[in-house]
């Protein structure tokens, strides 16, 4: 099983040297990927709405961070986890992803989601209630921009006439994986995705979701052996026994990758690197 290192965007701080040291440690420890989360805006609570993250949480910009990580590492792959695609201009995302893929020599995976924060959508001038349909069309457009000389496209959300993106990415197309675990997202991932990266509970409900994905892959004539599956393991504390138990569960149900997603604060860069070491040891590395 490959391991992914979750970029600790909320706690790593703003010192580029510490970001470099953490990324190089992940690579030296043998992690296969670094996953960079995404939010553009923080938002305060209002009325009955309580944000998962608020105005005090730090989120480094996803593509700029991946470009920096590409420069300070050599082989580790880089992925967004997850980029909230429908609140962005499609052509701009395609251009940014192509550039980071070029600069990293083909190490990018684009993890995308539809998000949960309607305030962020509104603040970016994006439409909340069509985000699923928008995402599906965006993926079609981006793949064409990455692989075709000139693109002409007329859809519900996009109109392009004889346009292109240069330079092209190394990967044509860049792999696109889906975050999220709603029925609609699982079906969309099985229909048009290259992989799936959900946060699920390691129990019967989580296993049922994996079964649902396999059913949809079969329905769409997709090969489950070539479809990626990364399990996000939410950790509320440094419980190595729990990590090991979760890893064993996800291996059993077919995950090829796992990422420890700590939801507790780790105060300094040393602690964050030590977390990577401990998780690698638990995984048998």
Beta bridge partners, 164, equal none
Q: Which residue in the block uniquely carries the two structure tokens 């129990």?
A: 203
| Strand pairing category for 77-80 and 83-84 | unpaired
For residue 12, pLDDT beyond 90: yes
Q: Could you tell me the pTM of the whole model?
A: 0.96
Average pLDDT over residues 30-42: 97
Residue 187: burial class (beta carbons within 10 Å; 0-12, 13-18, 19+): middle
- CA 54 and chain centroid, separation: 20
pLDDT band at 104 (very low <50, low <70, confident <90, very high): very high
The mean pLDDT value for 203-213 works out to 97
Mean local confidence (pLDDT), 23-51: 96
Please report the pLDDT score of residue 149 as a whole number.
97
Quick one: average pLDDT of 237-253? 96
Least Cα distance to 176 among 144, 151, 148, 218 occurs for: 144
For the chain, domain boundaries: 2-282
Mean residue pLDDT of the chain comes to 97
Q: Quick one: pLDDT band at residue 285, thresholds 50, 70, 90?
A: low
pLDDT of residue 226: 95
Query: How large is the average pLDDT for residues 162-185?
Result: 97
Work out the percent of the chain whose per-residue pLDDT is above 70.
100
Helix 269-282 vs helix 240-252: angle between axes, to the nearest 10 degrees?
50
Q: What is the CATH topology of the domain spanning 2-282? A: TIM Barrel (3.20.20)
* Confidence bin at 267 (pLDDT 50/70/90): confident
Say if strands 228-235 and 33-36 run parallel, antiparallel, or are unpaired.
unpaired
What is the average pLDDT across 125-145? Answer: 98
Mean pLDDT of 169-181: 97
pLDDT at residue 55 above 70? Answer: yes
Question: Are 45 and 19 spatial neighbours (Cβ–Cβ below 8 Å)?
Answer: no
Mean pLDDT on 55-80: 97
- pLDDT of the residue at 254: 96
- Asked whether residue 4 carries a pLDDT value surpassing 90, the answer given is yes
């Amino acid at each position: 099983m490959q391991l992914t290192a979750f970029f600790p965007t909320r706690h790593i701080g703003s010192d580029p040297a510490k970001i470099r040291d953490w990324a190089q440690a992940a690579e030296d420890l043998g992690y296969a990927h670094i996953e960079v989360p995404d939010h553009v805006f923080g938002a305060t609570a209002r009325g009955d709405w309580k944000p998962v993250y608020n105005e005090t949480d730090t989120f480094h910009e996803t593509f700029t961070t991946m470009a920096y990580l590409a420069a300070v590492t050599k082989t580790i792959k880089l992925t967004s986890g997850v980029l909230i695609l429908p609140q962005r201009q499609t052509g701009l995302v395609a251009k940014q992803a192509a550039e980071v893929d070029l600069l990293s020599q083909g190490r990018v995976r684009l993890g995308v989601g539809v998000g949960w924060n309607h305030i962020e959508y509104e603040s970016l001038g994006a439409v909340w209630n069509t985000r699923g349909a928008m995402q599906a069309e965006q993926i079609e457009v981006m793949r064409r921009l990455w692989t075709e000389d000139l693109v002409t496209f007329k859809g519900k959300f996009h109109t392009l006439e004889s346009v292109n993106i240069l330079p092209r990415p190394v990967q044509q197309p860049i792999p696109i994986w889906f975050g999220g675990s709603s029925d609609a997202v699982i079906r969309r991932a099985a229909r048009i995705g290259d992989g799936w990266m959900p946060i699920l509970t390691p129990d019967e409900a989580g296993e049922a979701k994996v079964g649902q994905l396999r059913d949809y892959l079969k329905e769409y004539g997709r090969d489950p052996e070539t479809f990626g599956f990364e399990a996000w393991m939410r950790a509320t504390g440094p419980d190595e026994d729990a990590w090991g138990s979760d890893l064993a569960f996800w291996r059993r149900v077919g995950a090829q990758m796992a990422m420890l997603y700590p939801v507790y604060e780790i105060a300094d860069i040393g602690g964050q690197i030590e977390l990577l070491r401990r998780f690698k040891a638990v995984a048998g590395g």
